[in-house]
Amino acid sequence: MFDRCVTQIGKAYKPGENITIDEGICPFRGRLSFRVCMKNKPNKYGVKYFMLCESGYVLNCEIYSGKQSNADNNILHIVDRLCHSFHNKGLTLYMDRFYTSPDLLDYLWEKRTKAVGTVQKNRKGLLRDLIGQKWKINELSFCRRDHLLFVKWKENRDIFL
């Protein structure tokens, strides 16, 4: 039933040029083999799901069924499964630091999908030229590798894009 709802939503709504990907949790305290605990969410226990959205509309959704499932839960594979019908359409995907990595951005570039996101400074494959440097507030610096642009901005703390 869940898969049918997701399929019908995808057929009924055509997104604009900007889409976003994020995870959420559906509160659930019963017994379930893939129930998770996410300490930074208001409802800590429940069923985790990944969503592809635009303007409040869910375009695609996938339930996280745990490590014991047959699905490959690598971030690249999760994003690919959620965005497969939106590749090669010139859309821009916005994501948070959980998803953003140079490998994923390279993969999306091959699929003609642009991507923007904050990134953890210790993520594998990052351009290390700017990470260790100290900046004053509101200073901005960037470096580039092929189609990737890495930006470091200092507000109250360092922000990496």
The Cβ of residue 74 has, within 10 Å, a number of other Cβ atoms equal to: 11
- Is residue 20's pLDDT more than 90? yes
pLDDT at 114: 92
Q: For 38-62, how does the pLDDT look when each residue is reduced to its tens digit (9 = 90+)?
A: 888 788 889 888 999 988 788 888 8
pLDDT at 93: 93
- Do residue 89 and residue 10 come from a single domain? yes
- Do residue 95 and residue 45 come from a single domain? yes
CA distances from 37 to 30, 32, 98 (A): 13, 12, 16
- Do residue 39 and residue 106 come from a single domain? yes
Check which CATH number belongs to the domain holding 49 and give it. Answer: 3.30.420
Please list, residue by residue across 99-137, b when 16 or more beta carbons sit within 10 angstroms of its beta carbon and e when fewer do.
Answer: bbbbebbbbbeeeebebebebeeeeeebeeebeeeeeee
Q: Tokens for 65? A: 């069924």
pLDDT at 127: 67
Q: For 80-99, how does the pLDDT look when each residue is reduced to its tens digit (9 = 90+)?
A: 989 888 888 889 999 998 88
SS3 for 136?
A: coil
pLDDT at 18: 92
- Do residue 22 and residue 82 come from a single domain? yes
What share of the chain has pLDDT > 90, as a percent?
17
- Better-scored residue on pLDDT, 115 or 155: 115
Mean pLDDT confidence for 116-133:
78
- Do residue 160 and residue 149 come from a single domain? yes
Per the structure, how many domains does the chain have?
2
Q: Check residue 96 and report its DSSP letter.
A: -
- Do residue 26 and residue 87 come from a single domain? yes
Task: Name the residue range of residue 147's domain.
Answer: 121-161
pLDDT at 115: 93
Q: Which of the listed ranges 54-58, 75-79, 132-136, 140-144 does the model predict with the highest average pLDDT?
A: 75-79
pLDDT at 70: 63
**Which of 102, 96, 147 lies closest to 128, judged by CA?**
102
